[in-house]
Amino acid sequence: SPAVLALVDELGRADGVIVGTPVYKASYSGVLKALLDLLPERVFADKVLLPFAVGGSPAHMLVLDYALRPVLAALKAQEILHGVYALDSQIIRRETRVVLEPVLTERLQHALGQFELALARRRSGRLAALDVGEVATA
């Protein structure tokens, strides 16, 4: 479909991807599964991934490691960071906005900081590889 092709093109240009899902029956959502099934096998090659999941119970917090991480690895993700599992109760929905509990905000800020650092490492590594290539051909 044109929408899937556009997504694959956009993912190809990305250095990193944040993959988010609600947790349903101790796994990631069927909608995410259907989408991931449509993507090419190497779609996440050379990418940094940050998984994020929201569930109703602390009992499902391992969904990131035991359900989502293996699928992302099968799509050849270069680096999968420690994700964030949030409880529904940590996300307060108001009429006009969403408020996060401070502990969740802190965890998200830390995860996003790690995501930024990983992206910066990858970019500087690519630049260093370019410099070495220029020296080798000079």
Q: Is 129 helix (H, G, I), strand (E, B) or coil?
A: helix
Q: Which is higher by pLDDT, 126 or 33?
A: 33
For residues 129 and 102, which has the higher predicted lDDT (pLDDT)?
Answer: 102
Q: How far is CA 83 from CA 16, 48, 89, 97, 113, in A?
A: 13, 12, 18, 24, 12
Residue range of the domain that includes 83: 2-137
Amino acid at 133: G
pLDDT at 133: 59
Segment 18-42 shows an average pLDDT of 95
The predicted structure's pLDDT at residue 123: 84
Percent of the chain clearing pLDDT 70 (strictly above): 91
Number of domains in the chain: 1
Separation between Cα atoms, residue 108 and residue 115, nearest integer Å: 10
**Residue tagged 């099934």 (tokens):** 37
What integer best gives the mean pLDDT of the chain?
Answer: 92
DSSP reduced 3-state for 80:
strand
Q: Residue 91 belongs to what H/E stretch?
A: strand 91-93
What is the percent of the chain where pLDDT is above 90? Answer: 84
Average pLDDT over residues 3-15: 95
pLDDT recorded at residue 132:
57
Q: pLDDT class for 138, splitting at 50, 70, 90? A: low
Q: Determine the pLDDT at residue 125.
A: 73
What's 35's domain CATH number? 3.40.50.360
| pLDDT of the residue at 15 | 95
Q: What is the pLDDT of residue 25?
A: 86
Is the predicted pLDDT of residue 137 greater than 80, yes or no? no
